[in-house]
Structure 1
Amino acid sequence: MHILYLRTYLLRSGNLVESQKMYINQCRRLHLLRNQAYVNGEWVKAKSNLVFAVHNPADDSVVAEVPDMDSKDAQNALLTASNAFQTWKDTTAKERSRILRRWFDLCEKNTDNLAEVITAESGKPLAEAKGEVAYGNSFLEWFADSARHINGEIIPSPWPNKQILLTRNPLGVVSVITPWNFPFAMITRKVGALMAAGCTCVIKPSEDTPLSALAAVELAHQAGVPKGVVNVVTTSRKNAPTVGKVMCEDEYVRCISFTGSTTVGKILYGLAAKGIKRVALELGGNAPFIVFPSADIDHAVDQAMLAKFRNNGQACIGANRFLIHEIVFDDFVKKFKARIEKKCVLGPGTKEGVTCGPLINNEQAKKVSGLVDDAVAKGAKVLSGGKFAKNLGNKFYESTLLVDVNQDMQIFKEEVFGPVATCIKMKSEEEALKMANSTRSGLAAYIFTKDLGQAFRMSKNLEFGMVAINDGILSAAEPAFGGVKESGIGREGSLHGAVEYTDLKYTLMSGLDK
C-alpha cells in the first residue's frame, strides 16, 4: 500500500496513534521514494497532470503514483539536456570525476534505502536487491576513475612539419531507456559512463520500475550533479511508444542507449536510423551452459544455480540451455534437482530466507508458463516445479527443471527470462558448439571443463560476446559487457563503456615550420 494511502486509511479508521507510527515507519523505510519526475534539477509533474500507479508484483499493491508523461514532456526534457550540455561538455574530467565520486558515496551510504525501493517495485528478495545496489554502485566508482582516462592519440605524420591529433569529444544528449529487471544498476552503468565522457541525458525507466530511477537521481541531485545533466521522464505503458519515438528521433538526441528485448531494440534501431543516431544496444540472450566430462560437477552445479536463478531467472545473461555431456548428464541433473529444491525458496522479497521472488508482471508470467506448457506438450519431462505457486499469488512460478528437451521446442529457441532450466544431452565438443551457436542471440555463454585446450577452443568458436570458463557470474564494472549478432551493439562497463559516448575527431596541425 502506498504510504499516503496507508495514512489516510488508518486516520479514517480512527486509530490516530497507530496511523502516526506506521506512517513514520513507512516514510523511514522508503525515504528515497519520489513520486514526481525529475527535469532540470526539479521535481515535476506531467504537463497533463496525469499519473499512473506502480505496483508491487508480489501482491499487486500500489507502491506509488508517478507522472504519466507524454511526448511534449519528453521534448522538454531533451531540450533541457541539450542546454545543459553546452556547459557540462566543458567541465574538466577531474570535476566530472569528483561529482561521480560524490554520487557513488551517497549511493553506498544509502544502500539499504535503495534496496528497499527496488524490492518494493520489482519484487526481488531484499538481499538480492542489496546485491544489485552494490553492483550498480561499482559502475559509479569505476567511471569516476575512468573519466580521467578518456585519452586521445598523437599519430606520426606522413608529412614533414605536420602533426596528426585524434581527440575524443562527448557526443551530446543521450536517450537512456532502461529495463525493469535491474532498475538501479542499468541506470548507473549507462549514466556513469556518459557523464564521465561529458554527455547529458534523459532517462526513461521501465513503467514497471520507475521508482529506482527516481531514487537514484535524488542521490545524484544531492551529490551536486548540475541541473539538466540528468533528467528522468516517467511514462505508462500506454504512452511509452510515443515517448520512445521522441527519444529516438528528436533533433537534440545524439545517441540512444537501450537495454531490453531484441524485439524492442530493433524498433528503436529503426527509429534511430532516420536521424543517423548513434546506438548502444544491450539486447536479449539465449545463454548456453555447457558441462564437459572433465568438469568438477559439484562446482558446476553451484555455478548453475547462480547463472540460472539469479533474479529468479530474469536476467539477459541468465543460463537458458544446459548442454550436458552424456557421460555426466545423470549425475549433473540429479545434483541440480536436489540443489534447486533445497536452495530456491519462493516468496515475497521482504520475507526472511526467500531467494526467488515473483515474476515482474502478468505478461512475463504468461510467457514463462506458456513456454513450459509447450515443451511438456511436445515431450519434455518436468523433474521439479513446472507450475505457479498459487498460494503465494498469481506471479510466483516455481523454480523448474526440465529434461527430454529438444531443439524443436520454443523453450530451446527463445529466451525464457524466468526460473526454468532445460537440460539437454550432448555427445561431443562439436555437437555442443553446433547447438550453442544455433541461435540469433550471442550475449553470454558458460563453459565447464578442466581441459585448458578445450576451454580456449570453446571460447574462440562460441558466437557470443562474453564467455565464462568455470564460472556462473561474469558481470563487473571492469570488463566490457555486450553481445554479438542480435544481442546488441556496443559495450558497457570498462573504459570502452565511456568511450562509447564519444566522437573521434581528427585534427591536422600544419605549417609548424612557419
Structure 2
Amino acid sequence: MLDLLKKCGISDSNLGSCVGGSDWFTTKDTGINTSINPSNEEVIATVFEANKGDYEKVVKKAQSAFTEWRKVPAPVRGNLVREMGNALREEKDALGSLVSLEMGKIKEEGTGEVQEMIDIADFAVGQSRMLYGKTMHSERPNHRMYEQWHPLGPIGVITAFNFPVAVWAWNAFIAAIAGDVVIWKPSSSTPLTAVAVQHICNAVLKRNGYPGIFNLIIGKGSTIGELMLKDKRLPLISFTGSTTMGRRVAKVVAQRFGKTILELGGNNAIIVDDTADLDLAIPAIAFGAVGTAGQRCTSTRRVITHTGVTDTLIQRLINAYKQVNIGDPLQKGTLMGPLLNQGAVDAYMEAINAITVAGGEIVYGGKPIAGTGFYVEPTIARVNNDWDIV
C-alpha cells in the first residue's frame, strides 16, 4: 500500500486546498479528514480540511485565472486538456488502484473509472475545435448577426464518493475547453483520490503556465459546500449526490439565480417479460446490481417480471449471486467489494428491515458478512411495487 500511496503523491498527512499549478495552502487547524480503507477498516491517510479563508483565496485566484483563460483560443485550451489526458494515461494503474483502495470498488472498476477520465479528455479536445455558432442575415444593410458562446466563470463542482474522480473530469475538462475554470469540492469520504488528481493537475498546469484552471478545496459540506452553493461568484454548481441533497442544492442556487447541473440517485428497473432471453438478462441484472456493491446511481434496484418467468428468474439469479466472489477489491478475481463505510451498512440493514416489516420475503442474502471490512451479502427480495421501500 505504501508504494501505491507514494506513486500517487499521498503522504500520511496531506494538505486539503490548492490553487491549481500553485502551492498548497498550509491550513492545519480546521479539522482532519481521516480516510478509512473500507475493506479492512484501517486508516489509509489523513487530509487537513480547508477553512473559509482558504475558500476565499481559491475563489479569488480562480476569478483572476478566468479573466485570462477565457481569452485563450479554444483549441489551445483543448491542448491543455489533451496533456491532462496523457498524464492520466501514465498514472492510470496507480490512480485506479487508489480509487479501489479508498472507495472499495474492484480494481477493474477503479481502472475503468480513470479510463473514463481519459475518454472525456479526448472528447473535450475534439469539442475545443467545434464551438460553432450560427451566422444570420440582418435586416440592416452591411450587417450580419452571429452566435457566439461565452464562458460562464468559475464553476463549482461537488462530487460523490462512488465515482470519486470520473465525475470531476466529466465536468472539468468540458468546462476548461469552454473557457471556464473549476473549483472542486470532492466527497469527504474519498479525499485522497482528489489529492492525487490535483497533483496531476498541478504538474500539467505548471508546465504550461496556466495556474488556477483546476482548483481543489476539501472540507465539510456544511461549511465549504454551503459557501459554494450561496456564492454568487460561482455562476454554475454541478452537484452529484443524493436526491435529498440535490433538492437543497437546486433551491439554494436558484435563490441567487445561479445555474445547476444535478446528477442524483436512481431507482432503476429492468423489465423481464415472457419472451426475454434469460441468458442475457441474468448477467445484465447481476452486474447491474452488484457492480460497485450496488452504490451507483445506475445500479439495478428493481426487476419487474412476467409471472410466467418469475420463479425461474429468481432461481437463476440466486445461482448467479452464489458465484459472486466478495472480498478485497484489489485482489484479482474479486467481483464485489465492500460498502463505503458503517453508515452504508446501517442503511443496508434498515432497507432489509423495511422489506420484512412490509411483508416482503428475503430469498437470498440480507446479512452483513462477519469479519473486518464493510461487506454485506448481495440480496434478492420479493416485494410489491407500491411499497415505500420500493
**Fold agreement, TM-score > 0.5:** yes
- Cα deviation for residue 291 of structure 1 reads 1.3
Match of 2:217 in 1: 233
Looking at structure 1, the residues matched to 5 and 380 of structure 2 have their Cα atoms a distance apart, in angstroms, of 37
* CA shift in 2, pair 1:338/1:156, >3 Å: farther
- Cα deviation for residue 282 of structure 1 reads 0.9
Deviations 1:180-236 (A, max 9, x none): 00101111111111111110011000000011122122112222362111111111x
Q: Partner amino acid for 1:185?
A: A
Contact 1:38 1:214 in 2 (8 A): no
Deviations 1:277-329 (A, max 9, x none): 11111111111111122221110111112221211110001111111111222
2:375 to 386, 392, 396: 396
Is 2:44 aligned against 1:60?
no
* CA shift in 2, pair 1:354/1:30, >3 Å: farther
- Cα deviation for residue 75 of structure 1 reads 2.0
Match of 2:7 in 1: 31
1:259 to 240, 243, 261: 240
Deviations 1:115-159 (A, max 9, x none): 121122112222221121112221112112112112111134355
Looking at structure 1, the residues matched to 103 and 118 of structure 2 have their Cα atoms a distance apart, in angstroms, of 18
Structure 2: segments with no counterpart, 5+ residues:
none
Contact 1:291 1:325 in 2 (8 A): yes
Q: Partner amino acid for 1:409?
A: W
1:378 to 358, 370, 383: 358
Looking at structure 1, the residues matched to 380 and 56 of structure 2 have their Cα atoms a distance apart, in angstroms, of 47
Match of 1:163 in 2: 144
1:353 to 333, 337, 343: 333
- Cα deviation for residue 47 of structure 1 reads 6.3
Match of 1:320 in 2: 301
Q: What is the SS of the residue equivalent to 2:332?
A: coil
Looking at structure 2, the residues matched to 385 and 137 of structure 1 have their Cα atoms a distance apart, in angstroms, of 37
Alignment of 1:343-492 (within 5 A): 344-393=324-373, 395-403=374-382, 405-412=383-390
* CA shift in 2, pair 1:208/1:33, >3 Å: farther
Structure 1: segments with no counterpart, 5+ residues:
1-24, 413-514
Looking at structure 1, the residues matched to 227 and 368 of structure 2 have their Cα atoms a distance apart, in angstroms, of 39
- Cα deviation for residue 161 of structure 1 reads 4.3
Deviations 1:84-143 (A, max 9, x none): 001111111111111111111111121111012112211222222112111222111211
Higher Rg of the two aligned structures = 1
- How many residue pairs are counted as aligned between the two chains? 382
Q: TM-score, normalised by structure 2?
A: 0.93
Alignment of 1:45-84 (within 5 A): 45-46=26-27, 48=29, 50-84=31-65
Match of 1:467 in 2: none
Q: Partner amino acid for 1:232?
A: L
Looking at structure 2, the residues matched to 49 and 241 of structure 1 have their Cα atoms a distance apart, in angstroms, of 13
Looking at structure 2, the residues matched to 408 and 289 of structure 1 have their Cα atoms a distance apart, in angstroms, of 16
- Cα deviation for residue 366 of structure 1 reads 1.0
Deviations 1:475-501 (A, max 9, x none): xxxxxxxxxxxxxxxxxxxxxxxxxxx
Contact 2:30 2:51 in 1 (8 A): no
- Cα deviation for residue 30 of structure 1 reads 4.0
Q: TM-score, normalised by structure 1?
A: 0.71
Looking at structure 2, the residues matched to 244 and 411 of structure 1 have their Cα atoms a distance apart, in angstroms, of 29
Q: Once the two structures are aligned, what percentage of the paired residues are identical? A: 27
Contact 1:39 1:232 in 2 (8 A): yes
Q: What is the SS of the residue equivalent to 2:150?
A: strand
Superposition misfits of 4+ residues, deviation over 6 angstroms: none
